[in-house]
Structure 1
């Protein structure tokens, strides 16, 4: 017997997994479908959950990195993240917002809203256009993952 608490717990789980780096909606949507949600429902929750950290990353990442660079304990980590992200962003640098859209839209490991937000922040992209493009790319990735999840349960 399913209760409202079970229903909300599943939804919160999908939202939380979608908001996590690396996992994002690539894991959240199939997980939601495996928990009995419709692919569309899981997709909507995946989009909402994965967009939660984006404004914070776009607005606060650079100032936080500046402060952390001054602390010896965090300097190496900040340099590693910065180097790793900028190494993968040549297409974003070349094509600007279109490159960011494609980077976020392709649902493969090391791409997505976290990496896209970090790249946009490090490349000094304006917040509003970057947010809009990341949202659009995230929706494209969500449709791809929803389609794959739907095909998996149909066949």
Structure 2
């Protein structure tokens, strides 16, 4: 049982999978929804402060390096472009836009991407973490509901 919870925790920390993979995994393997939800939330939120504080610096540092430079530059440009577009669309509602961006469990959205975008937009650390936390809670509710209903693709594969 502890191994399954540890797996839920680790899956929720992986970019792109995050809650979208962790909660269906836990439910599919018989773990109670509420405990799976809590473990997945903690695992998903753990990297957020580190991403906010260090990801931008690492990308900027690596932008001029020979092997990784093109990819890091692409990430920075994509993040700046997407961030500016979000900022222009959201205006003063940037907090809520970030919360919804993180909260809708689709590929390419989530705590990792949202936190990186907040960092590139120079959002306030506290506001960014709170928006990501709200989004992660929302995504967890959505994924928990879908998992219990048996809608997740992962649940269909495992069953």
Say whether the fold is shared (TM-score over 0.5): yes
Determine the C-alpha separation between the residues in 2 that align with 1:85 and 1:28.
26
| Farther-moved stretch of structure 1 (64-73 vs 18-27) | 64-73
Determine the C-alpha separation between the residues in 2 that align with 1:104 and 1:46.
15
Instruction: Note the aligned Cα RMSD (angstroms).
Output: 1.6
1:15 corresponds to 2:9? yes
1:62 alignment partner, one of 53, 56, 66: 56
The offset of 1:93, in angstroms, is 4.8
Partner residue in 2 for 1:3: none
Partner residue in 2 for 1:120: 118
For residues 35-46 of structure 1, the aligned pairs below 5 Å read 35-46=29-40
The offset of 1:134, in angstroms, is 0.3
Partner residue in 2 for 1:104: 102
Output the TM-score relative to the length of structure 2.
0.86
Partner residue in 1 for 2:146: 148
Output the TM-score relative to the length of structure 1.
0.88
Give yes or no for contact 1:93–1:99 (8 Å, CA) kept in 2. no
Partner residue in 1 for 2:47: 53
Q: Which runs of 5+ in 1 are unaligned?
A: 1-6
Q: Secondary structure, in 3 states, of the residue corresponding to 2:150?
A: helix
Give yes or no for contact 1:93–1:123 (8 Å, CA) kept in 2. no
Count residues in correspondence: 147
Determine the C-alpha separation between the residues in 2 that align with 1:137 and 1:88.
18
The offset of 1:115, in angstroms, is 0.6
Q: Which runs of 5+ in 2 are unaligned?
A: 152-159
Partner residue in 1 for 2:89: 94
Determine the C-alpha separation between the residues in 2 that align with 1:143 and 1:39.
10
The offset of 1:92, in angstroms, is 4.7
Determine the C-alpha separation between the residues in 2 that align with 1:107 and 1:91.
18
For residues 78-93 of structure 1, the aligned pairs below 5 Å read 78-89=72-83, 90-93=85-88
